[in-house]
Chains A and B, each alone.
Chain A
Amino acid sequence: MFSQLRNISDWKDLIRNLVLRNLRIRYKGSTLGFFWTMISPLFMMVIYFVFITLLKIPIDLPQLLVGILVWQFFVMCLSDSVNAITGYPSLIKRTYSPKYVFPLSMVLANLVNFLLSLVVLVVFLFIYTIVTPSYHLVIGPGLLLLPLIVLLQTALILGLSNFFSCLNVYFKDIEHIMSIILLAWFFLSPIMYPLNLVREKTGAIGPWVFNLYIINPMASIVTCYRYAFLGIPVPFSPFFFLSLLLSPVILIAGTLIFLKKEPYFADEL
């Protein structure tokens, strides 16, 4: 089934070119160009910092920022994914190149942006600990796990992107459903609130609610990032590890569906 992927190395030039194209065109024509990739997350962090400090909102800023950056990577890819195939009808119909390069290069371009924003995050956290004496940044061994966590999230995103880019070829409604799915997913993941809050609030109903909650792969991934950057412990529950395992499963399933339908894209566009 994956035999279509065997010649992927023949197309690494194309993948690299498409990634570069995606990166270039985003800020094409602007004076600062590619620097916006760093400037926009920086400004976002500063604005959150200013307002949360001024309004004295009882929220843990570093946790919030980690959550938001991780979520942005996810949401950018998924909203781009619906057009990853349908957005390029002439390429799909007229050129003999494997179609999986389109969602893949889109995810990789977003990954580059995400990694750069993580660099900005590290710098910001460093400055934040200096200006906020009450805050103690715990830099632990978790940071070594970061590449693995990024890989896990990229696997999840690529699997979902493959699935949704393919689905939108057949059902144009996906484009519109996507924003609704993403909004619900946002509140079902610990982005604006810490994971602990979920355990506390649902404890009265029963532990199964939390177990169900953590099955969401984005919940476990965000938790892992918070562990890596901030040293916040992860819940040692089998459901948590099951949730982490879900990402590679989704990658394989999404890619399989995509490859199965790929030869017929040209017929539908």
Chain B
Amino acid sequence: MKYSYYPGCTLRTKAEILNRYALASAKALGIELEEVENWQCCGGMYTASTDEIATKLASVRALAQARDAGCDLVTLCSACFNVIKRVNEDARTNENFITKVNNYMAPDMEYHGETNVLHFLEVLRDVIGFDELKKKVVNPLTGRKIGAYYGCLLLRPGEVMQLDDPENPKVLEEFIRAIGATPVLYGQRNECCGGYQTLNEKSIAVQRSSAVVESALSQGAECLITACPLCRYNLAVNAAPQIPVYYFTELLAEALGVKEVAENGN
């Protein structure tokens, strides 16, 4: 199983560990993630306006490279997944947009939405299968009560992202069960943590992330997992009540017994 892989800016820096846990886990599961060459930052936020071209070019280049490698494009970071998948949808459905975009592409790189964009969770769910994953768990996280934090970017807009039911998602809960732990459902798991306001209006980020953590604590969660570095930072640093927040790949690596390998640099 070979995929083109788009790590994104933060997975190379502050969230390097998200990347390392994922790569070690993928290896243990027989998934080959081949990094897109010379990828550029996706911008972290999809601009919804009809007239933005430049902010979407980095995504298109990565998508075209994956197409040329003959692979689906896998992302780990929720924000990258959101931006690249939505740009891909534009490339597929908006002729005016893709015509303008292709003016910026190398002549032999013209792109029309051919690539399939996947989140790593989809690879686990739809390619490996959670039942299969469960069999490969050597260190089940039995007894741990884990709240899945989806946030916004994995799920919305549901018509484009197509990852799960945007109002009652299940993929992370199924993941938690597969690694032997117990998922905790709570109301704010798909509400915004206020991450984009971290710099600009910190009080909103504090208020939102606190609401998320309070909601999770009230339903008995002992820790949270997320796929997004900004959500993780916000929930761990900005929220008033304290709760441990992990990348889902960290618990995956732990369950698969490759956590130390990952931490020691493969």
A in complex with B:
no
